[in-house]
Amino acid sequence: MSTVATTSPAPPRTDFLRSLGSFPILGPVAALILACIFFATQSDRFLSGANFSLILQQVVVVGTLAIGQTLVILTGGIDLSNGMIMALSSVLMTGLYANSGMDPYLAVLVGMAVCVAFGVVNGWLHTFIGLPPFIVTLGTYSIAYSLVRIYTTATITDVPPALNFFGDTFRIGSTAITYGTVAMIVLYVIAWFVLRSTPAGRAVYAVGDNPEAARLAGIHTGRVLIAVYTIAAISYGIAGLLLVGRMGVGDPNTGQNGNLESITAVVLGGTSLLGGRGYIMGTLVGALIVGVFRNGLQLMGIGSNYQVLITGVLVILAASVDYLSHRGK
């Protein structure tokens, strides 16, 4: 995993230059820029505010899922359940209003509560029973999957206006931007700040890097892990909210690829699956890389079989760029 063997996670502002010199997510950013340049040469429609706004919209859901996924992976874990937790919260948030006439805001709260419950269960099984996160979240994936379908197999169309908010747009110049996009970016900034500059954030890195050392240093690793899985689950709930805003419906069939897609974003962003090393903003870049590929290839009118082929190749290339950009160190 030498891809990220560099630099202090928290370069102090004082020596800004050094921190630039070892700019951690250089690789992913380079890969993203290369991809953009490539597509700009291929399709005249690619380089437009409207198109970029579109790509952002298409990335919002996975991007938000990937925030929680990043936290979990930083602790050395992995969360396969995130997409289904999102799906469950989104059908509840819409369904409780549409089918049970619950107050929409209350419905959102209930949806969030369910997410929290799943997060706690994930964290607890991992920490106190000591099960590998892969197995735990595989199990909760199935559980959430079936709960969604037991609750409803019919798409919920009667969505309260309040929940459509994140789908609405405002204009900057000529390009319309959704509030969902803004929400996602805000979440990233918060996560970035917390991970970089708060004791809690540093504890996440410490636990992921060397749990035993963390424990012996008096860090309550158990609490940290449960908190991480819970906060992650909340981000999945928010992703559900953004999804509803974007799709305008509560869709029980959603979220099944959320885990692999979010993990891809995380890893493309330069975060190590071994835990302890990674950068939340890298994840955002990783998500954008995937979004740009998909959008660009479609603009080029490439048949989707070849789209998949090229995406596969590009994923490997992007990761290589990242790796090579760090090789020196």
Partner 1 sequence: TVGLITKTESNPFFVKMKEGASQEAKRQGAKLLTGAGAKDGDNEGQVTALENMINAGAKGILITPSDTKAIVPALQRARQQGALVIALDTATEPQSAVDALFATDNFKAGVLIGQWAKAAMAGKKPVIATLDLQPGITVGAQRHNGFLQGMGLAKADPNSSNLVTAPQVVCSQDTHGDQAEGQAAMENCLSKNPDINLVYTINEPAAFGAYTAIRAAGKEKDILIVSVDGGCRGVQGVVDGKIAATSQQYPLKMATMGVQAVVDYAKSGKKVSGYTDTGVTLITDKAQPGVPSKDSKFGMANCWGTK
Partner 2 sequence: MRAATAEGPGKVLLEMKGIGKTFPGVKALQGVSLTVREGQVHALLGENGAGKSTLIKILSGAYAKDEGEILWEGKPVAIRGPEDAQALGISTIYQEFNLGRQLTVAENIFLGQLPRKGFRVDWKTARARSRELLDRLGARISVDAKVERLSVAEQQLVEIAKALNRKTRLLVMDEPSAVLGEGDLERLFEVVRSLQQQGIGIVYISHRLVEIFALADEVTVLKDGRYVATKRVADVQMDDLVRLMIGRDLKDVYPRRATPAGPVLLEVKNLRRPKLVHDVSFHVRAGEIVGFSGITGSGRTEVVRAVFGADPHTAEMTMEGRPYRPRSPKDAIRSGVALVTEDRKGQGLFLKLNVAVNTTISAIRSVTRGGVIRRAKESALVEKMIRDLRIKTPSARFLVVNMSGGNQQKVILARWLSVHTKLLIMDEPTRGIDVGSKAEIYQIMDELTKRGVGIIMISSELPEVLGMSDRIYVMREGTIVGELARGAASEEAIMKYAVGGELAAAG
Residues lying near a second copy in the complex (CB under 8 A): 1-3, 80, 125, 129-132, 134-136, 138-143, 145-147, 149-150, 260, 263-264, 267-268, 272-273, 305-309, 311-313, 315-316, 319-320, 323-324
Give, to the nearest 10 degrees, the angle between helix 280-299 and helix 258-268: 110
* Least distance in angstroms from the C-beta of 198 to partner 2: 5
Q: Would you say 269 and 73 are in contact if contact means Cβ atoms under 8 Å apart? A: no
Q: Would you say 306 and 93 are in contact if contact means Cβ atoms under 8 Å apart? A: no
Q: Work out whether 171 is an interface residue with partner 2 (CB under 8 A).
A: no
Considering only residues 242 to 281 of the shown chain, the ones binding partner 2 according to CB under 8 A are 276-277
2 vs 256, which CB is nearer to partner 1?
Answer: 256
Q: Which does 209 bind (CB under 5 to 8 A by kind): partner 2, partner 1, a second copy, none?
A: partner 2
* Least distance in angstroms from the C-beta of 126 to a second copy: 10
Strand partners, 250: 156
Q: H helices within 152-270, ranges in order?
A: 161-164, 179-197, 199-209, 211-216, 221-247, 258-268
Q: Would you say 286 and 29 are in contact if contact means Cβ atoms under 8 Å apart? A: no
51 vs 70, which CB is nearer to partner 1?
Answer: 51
Give the interface size with partner 2 as a residue count (CB under 8 A).
Answer: 34
* Least distance in angstroms from the C-beta of 269 to partner 2: 16
Residue of 69, 6, 10 lying closest to 283 (CA atoms): 69
Q: Would you say 4 and 270 are in contact if contact means Cβ atoms under 8 Å apart? A: yes
* Least distance in angstroms from the C-beta of 165 to a second copy: 32
C-alpha distances (whole Å) from 190 to each of 193, 201, 217, 263, 309 are: 5, 11, 27, 20, 35
Q: Which does 192 bind (CB under 5 to 8 A by kind): partner 1, partner 2, a second copy, none?
A: none
Q: Determine the interface stretch with partner 2 among 7-15, 52-60, 294-302, 309-317 (rule: CB under 8 A).
A: 7-15
Residue of 285, 289, 292, 258 lying closest to 269 (CA atoms): 285
Q: What is the C-alpha separation between 148 and 11, in angstroms, rounded?
A: 44
* Least distance in angstroms from the C-beta of 41 to a second copy: 23
Q: Work out whether 198 is an interface residue with partner 2 (CB under 8 A).
A: yes
* Least distance in angstroms from the C-beta of 83 to partner 1: 10
Q: Which does 247 bind (CB under 5 to 8 A by kind): a second copy, partner 2, partner 1, none?
A: partner 1
- Contact flags string 17-46 toward partner 2, x per CB under 8 A: -x----------------------------
Amino acid at 7: T
3 state DSSP class of 46? coil
* Least distance in angstroms from the C-beta of 197 to partner 2: 5
217 vs 260, which CB is nearer to partner 2?
Answer: 217
Q: Would you say 66 and 238 are in contact if contact means Cβ atoms under 8 Å apart? A: no
* Least distance in angstroms from the C-beta of 298 to partner 1: 4
Q: Would you say 283 and 189 are in contact if contact means Cβ atoms under 8 Å apart? A: no
Q: What are phi and psi of 48, to 5 degrees?
A: -135, 145
Q: Which residues bind partner 2 (CB under 8 A)?
A: 5-15, 18, 197-199, 202-203, 205-206, 209-210, 212-220, 276-277, 328-329
